[in-house]
Amino acid sequence: MKALVLSIIIAAVIGVAGCGSQAVDDSAITLKVKSKLAADSQTSAIKIGVDTKDAVVTLSGTVPTATEKDEADKIAKNTEGVKRVVNDITINPDSLGATNLREKAGEAAKDIEGQAGRRRYHRHAHRRRQWQCGLKGTGR
């Protein structure tokens, strides 16, 4: 009887340890994939979600190009311990990512420069009208 109870307890402990081991393995795989994404200059690790269950990695998030989506997929597939990759990443060209960061930064800089120029023009328009009307410096 003791042997039977002991066998059941051992089996239960092994079963629980096995479940916990898979969870640890899944967490390690997620960490490896995230680390590789962060180290790769062609992917935006912060924009890509990684979830692992039973060594199946699911990628999610939004990136600006198919290149970035494909690179994330390749990185996940080439990570030790990954059995399969489900790539649920969506592509939105208007989103900011590693593959278009310089382009978007350049657009933002041009937009800021344009706004500053328009503000300067409008701010000085009043002064131009005063000079044209001969009012500047007359105290009027």
Determine the 3-state secondary structure of 56 from DSSP: strand
Please, which pLDDT band fits residue 1 given cuts at 50, 70 and 90? very low
Q: What is the pLDDT of residues 49-58, one digit of tens each?
A: 999 999 999 9
- Written as six digits, the tokens of 121 are 């023009």
The mean pLDDT value for 92-106 works out to 69
Q: Over the stretch 34-84, which tens digit does the pLDDT of each residue have? A: 999 999 988 888 889 999 999 999 999 999 889 999 999 999 999 999 999
Which tops the pLDDT comparison, 115 or 92? 92
pLDDT at residue 37, as a whole number: 92
Q: What is the pTM of this model?
A: 0.59
Dihedral sign for Cα atoms in the order 72, 99, 49, 30: positive
What pairs with residue 86 in β-bridges?
58
